[in-house]
Chain A
Amino acid sequence: MKLFLLTFAGFPVATLLLGFLGAAAVTTLLYILRLRRRRVGVAFLALWERSLAPRKASALRSRLQRLLSLLISLLIVGALILALGDPRLNDEENEGRSIAVLLDVSASMGETSGEGTRLDAAREKVKTWLSALGPGDEMLLIELGARPRPFAPATGDAEVLREALKEAEVLDVSADLKAGLGLAEDALRGRLHPQIILVSDGALPALDAKSFPNLPKFYFESVANKQEETSQNVGITSFSARRYPLSGDRFEVLVELKNDGIEPAEVELSLFEATQTGGRGAQLDLHRVTLPPEGSLAQSYSNLDHAETGLIAELRRVDSVPDPFSRDNVARTLLAERIPAKVLVVGKPDNFLDAALLLDESLEVKRVSADEYPPAGDYDVTIFNGVFPQRASRTGAALYLGIPAELDVPSEEGGYPLELGKELSLFGFDSWQKDSTVFRLIDPYNVQVLKGRTLVPQKSDVVLGASNAGPILVRGKRAEGDFLALGFSPRESDFVLRTVWPLFVQNVIDELYPRGRTDAVLGLRTGTLWRPPIPTSQSTVTVRGPLASANPSESTVPIDQGRAVFFGQRAGFYEAVSKEGVVRFSGSILSGAEGALPTAEEYRWGDKALPSAPSMQPRANRKPWFWLLLGVLAVSFSEWWLYHRRWTV
């Protein structure tokens, strides 16, 4: 509230006025009481009379002194009450301003700048401004990451802002300056003396100033320690690993490296096993690679082993060129878990089928004749190879190879699940669902079949493959469980002679009993919406991470269609904890965008560079309450001194 030349940042004027009136009344009362002199009986007053000044002059002087002393007391009380109001001078420097500070927290702000990171330097810069906030000033601190957000509501309370500033941390994302400016512009709309200050290392994408025609005063404060023309960054832009389908303990990785420099870059790529806590474990592989200038290089490394769950790739320049952005030199990914499957093969011995099943070490295969079906125990998948007994649900999903001669067992009672169509001869797959797991890495077009029959699917069934005459590969679900039926016997085709046959068998097993055995688990990219699959019946799940980081966070995220949905901004391994168990996933920068941006000591806006914020220079402490208190002390001391010396009452 303003009053004459002062603005009160503390108590309102009305409160101060009431307080002063009350205090003045009490002071006056005490003063009156104080004037009631102590009465002392003396034996011979004449003796004192001779020692004192003439009575008349003394009385007049005394009255004046009393009045002066009362005024001094009231002055002290008034000054104290005024100090409580935290008054500020209404000069131009103290005019209320609305300041939005865009604090860049993109990954490049994590690079060192002097003793600390660039974010530390930015934080210190903002702190000095907090000290310079005037009484009417308000500041909105905005975290400028991939999704800009305010740290705290706009306030003039420096302590609140200081606390909010502590939350600032470097995120493994690129800053979305456009969104940040939009947020700042919206927040400042209609406010007094709006201004936006961007605190950054300048590694930001160029923006078209015309996109923000009504932008308030816009300043730029750089925390870059040098001006770069171009970036010499190298980094990992892609990293994934997959287990070999037929040898689950071995795996291969695919990594893509990028070089932003105009010269070739010598780099060393190390692969590490990730520990259970997300830290770096044993080194698995090391390669020296030359990256082409301003280009990328995809490399795959095969036959790797001795990693149980996760992998960490680290890149390091070995030439003399410094790497300006190191956070994209690390990438993480997970290996699919190896889950064994119990497979029951019913029918006569079949070498082709046995060979295909032998290739997958994670399969536990049991063979029984049709008469022995169903054997004791539970199974995940049952392959009916030319036999079609009544199916038991405990033997899991079913793969029917071949067709029955006659449909003697109704499907409702667990027999062959489909009706048979017309007979076929010399046919093949003319159409198939290419995105189906069954046809992963398989092109069945060349498969030649001697004879077979079309299958008549029910409404709920899905046709995965068909000849021109009709469906020959159908997937469906019956009361006993899922099934997949092939409208011919593989032995009556060249399918079993083809190299894709074992893959087809494996794929079918994966389709019927999905274990993710050989899925290549791509590392998630920070700055994007993460949707890791979480097999849970819950609607939310607790996500912890990044593991092994100094300040892991824990949050509850929603589950949408079996996937946790949240915006990943920090690289590392994560855990999603549900009542069904713990699922791990990982995120890495995997983007060349942030590293490609050179740091800059200025930021161009339109056709000129943005100025630095002149009004946010640190100011001397001009808060009048300090001087008021000092004045009170001085007057009190003087009053005491004069009182002691009896110059006043």
Chain B
Amino acid sequence: MQLIDRLFRRKASAPQKGAVTVDLFDEDFLKKLSTLALMSRRAVSGVRRGDRRAKKRGSGVEFADHRPYVPGDDIRFLDVGIYQRFGKLLLRLFEEEEDLSIYFLIDTSLSMATHDSAKLNHAVQIAAALCYVGLSGLDRVSVTTLGERVSGRLPATRGKQRVFRILKFLSEIEAEGATRLGPALKSFVAQNKRPGMAVLLSDLFDPEGFEAGINVLRFNKFDPVVIQLVDERDHDGKLTGDLKLVDVETGASREVSMNPDVQKKLLSETQERQKSIERFCASRGVPHFAVSVRTPFDQVVLSVLRAGGLLR
């Protein structure tokens, strides 16, 4: 009977849900976060203050623009030189420094949950680490999960003490649904008017194209940073025999008989796709990090930080 069961049993075509299987409250993990926070300061010590400026005029020290004086304005900001030269009262405006908003956008589609949620786990760990570093730098940190749409959101928060709230949110993430970065990120920008850095953690396996999503961020004055989770098992040629491939997100299937030709083509196609992603990001000034799930997350975080542009 067992044999018959084995012969006739249909394997589940695709997982209906996935979950984070890594323990974010593990003591070792937390220690690593602390260490990363310290190391991040050294990593970003050469970056000048004000590199990431808010687009808001205020009481900063950096000149931004002039505007006509209206009664009630603080006369300390009158431009005396202009008045002496042209006899006009113009007020000097300065860019106001304010807390940086960092949005962590985590792809929680089912493709992230393949291979025992390896990519999702890795994304969550990286997000946790970057959040911790961000909170340590008094930035405002927000976490949003995306699939076909925005599936979860942790409002922006600041302060190191809020890290556990973030970790709790991250550990409760569940993967489900397909990837549709475009619509999902449109929802995100609609919900978050305050521009900031948008760190997208995704495998970029979007059947409609990952480009639409990134463009949505760009066009809405967010500074996108793409951390692409790569699991080599998604495209390795170690599968053998006659297979029926089932897309875990869409349920679409395709029969294939593995042979060296197919393996070779698959590898070539993967490399080509990776290059096109890199080309896209580079041409649009979007920082892009392709991160293997085999690389320890702390190493990933440091390399991301060292690359600059993410944290001050």
Contact = CB atoms under 8 A, between A and B. Distances in A.
A459 interface: no
B13 interface: yes
A55 interface: yes
A41 B256 contact: no
A51 B254 contact: no
B207 A48 contact: no
Given A45-B250, A646-B257, A649-B257, A39 B10 contact: yes
B255 A37 contact: yes
B311 interface: no
Given A47-B270, A51-B265, A41 B254 contact: no
Contacts of B14: 41
Contacts of B249: 43
A52 B253 CA distance: 13
A39 B251 CA distance: 11
A45 B252 contact: yes
Contact of B245 (A34, A48, A644, A646): A48
Contact of B242 (A45, A51, A649): A649
A49 interface: yes
Nearest to B250: A45
Interface stretch (B24-32, B71-79, B131-139, B233-241): B233-241
Nearest to B263: A51
B119, B231, B255, B256 interface centre (most CB from chain A within 10 Å): B256
Range for the number of chain B residues in contact with chain A: 35 or more
Nearest to B10: A39
A39 B11 contact: yes
Nearest to A46: B207
Nearest to A43: B111
B205 interface: yes
A33 interface: yes
A44 to B, nearest CB: 4
Contacts of B259: 644-646
A403 B114 CA distance: 138
Interface in B114-132: 114, 119
Contact of A44 (B7, B205, B253, B256): B205
B203 interface: yes
A38 B241 contact: yes
A41 B241 CA distance: 15
A37 B254 contact: no
B248 A42 contact: yes
Given A37-B244, A49-B254, A52-B254, A43 B205 contact: yes
B124 to A, nearest CB: 17
A43 B269 contact: no
Given A33-B7, A48-B266, A41 B234 contact: no
A42 B205 CA distance: 11
A42 B242 contact: no
A43 B114 contact: yes
A50 interface: yes
B15 interface: yes
Interface of B is mostly: mixed
Contacts of A40: 239, 243-246
B273 interface: yes
B269 A45 contact: no
Contacts of B148: none
A51 B96 CA distance: 53
Contacts of B11: 38-39
Nearest to B206: A44
B254 A48 contact: yes
Contacts of B13: 39, 41
Interface in B177-202: none
Contacts of B114: 41-43
A42 B265 contact: no
A47 B204 CA distance: 12
B120 to A, nearest CB: 11
B256 A52 contact: yes
A62 interface: yes
B261 interface: yes
B97 interface: no
A587 B248 CA distance: 99
Interface string B250-288: 101111111101100110111001000000000000000
A37 B13 CA distance: 12
B247 interface: yes
B256 A48 contact: yes
A45 B245 contact: yes
Nearest to A647: B259
Nearest to B264: A51
A38 B7 CA distance: 10
Nearest to B109: A43
Interface in A2-61: 33-52, 55
B247 A42 contact: yes
A646 B235 CA distance: 19
A44 B247 contact: yes
A38 B12 CA distance: 11
Interface string A610-649: 0000000000000000000000000000000000111001
Contacts of A646: 257-259, 261-262
B259 to A, nearest CB: 4
A41 B205 contact: no
Interface in B83-121: 111-112, 114, 119
Nearest to A59: B255
Contacts of B247: 41-46
B242 A47 contact: no
A45 B254 contact: yes
A35 B253 CA distance: 15
A44 B203 contact: yes
Contacts of A44: 111, 203, 205, 207, 234, 247
A47 B254 contact: no
A42 B245 contact: yes
Question: 6 tightest CB-CB pairs across the interface, nearest first?
Answer: A646-B259, A45-B247, A44-B205, A51-B265, A43-B111, A37-B244
13 contacts: A37-B255, A38-B241, A39-B244, A39-B246, A41-B12, A41-B13, A43-B248, A45-B246, A48-B256, A49-B254, A50-B265, A52-B256, A644-B259
Interface of B: 7, 10-15, 111-112, 114, 119, 203, 205, 207, 231, 234-235, 239, 241-250, 252-259, 261-262, 265-266, 268-270, 273
Given A37-B244, A44-B205, A52-B265, 15 more contacts: A38-B11, A38-B244, A39-B13, A40-B239, A41-B114, A41-B245, A43-B231, A45-B253, A47-B235, A47-B269, A49-B254, A50-B265, A51-B268, A52-B254, A62-B257
